[in-house]
Amino acid sequence: MTDPNEMRVGGFTPLTSIDYPGVLSAVIFCQGCPWRCRYCHNSELIPRHGDNHIPWERVLKFLHQRRGLLDAVVFSGGEPTLQKQLPSAIQTVKSMGFKIGLHTGGAYPERLMRLLASVDWVGLDIKASKENYAKVTGVEGSGEKAWQSAKLLIDSGVSHALRTTIHPQLISTTELQKITQRLNDLGPARHQLQTCVTDHCLDPALRN
């Protein structure tokens, strides 16, 4: 296993009730993402090495103090599965007695598959139909990865939400119907729609 002390953490939320539905949790924002979504509002987390670095030891120290007070820790991003240290970081946090939540875009299906036995809940973004994915992420081939991850997640039986962010310039009603139909074809998916926060979109053309 890789050394969790090498985790690159770009942000931390000590308490939230919305990032893991119905559960009090802390959120670790992992640095780095392979995609460039036009509506990304956490663009400072996209570079593999960001300006804001929180040492892993400091995160663990905080979590030690919150044992028995928080139920879960959510690994978010950026794209948490980008970091090879994620599995060992998850094991460390799990051994402290916390449930594990994971936010992912599904960019690395093989890594997600290996993590599914270790996590309690996954929020996976489904950003578009497979053929239109690159129009959102800016990366060719991202649709194949994300939809492969969705299939793995649904088949795993792990508690989850498949989340589609709606920005009217990116997702039409027809496109949304296509996404919903294809998710239904994959199996019993829990599909949620979320409104796009437009204030800080990476692409200025999508801002209010």
Least separation, in Å, of the C-beta of 78 and ligand SF4?
5
Least separation, in Å, of the C-beta of 92 and ligand SF4?
23
Q: What are the residues binding ligand SF4 (CB under 6 A)?
A: 33, 35-37, 40, 42, 45-46, 77-79, 105
| Residue whose CB is less far from ligand SF4, 37 or 183 | 37
| Residue whose CB is less far from ligand SF4, 70 or 167 | 167
Are 102 and 158 in contact, with CB atoms under 8 Å apart?
A: no
Least separation, in Å, of the C-beta of 173 and ligand SF4?
22
Helices (H), 66-116: 86-94, 109-115
Task: Tell me the DSSP string of 124-181.
Answer: EE--S-GGGHHHHHS-TTHHHHHHHHHHHHHHHT-EEEEEEEE-TTT--HHHHHHHHH
| Residue whose CB is less far from ligand SF4, 70 or 153 | 153
HSE-CB for 158 with a 13 A CA cutoff: 26
| Residue whose CB is less far from ligand SF4, 145 or 154 | 145
Give me the count of residues in the chain. 208
Least separation, in Å, of the C-beta of 143 and ligand SF4?
13
Query: What whole-number distance in Å separates Cα of residue 154 and Cα of residue 144?
Result: 16
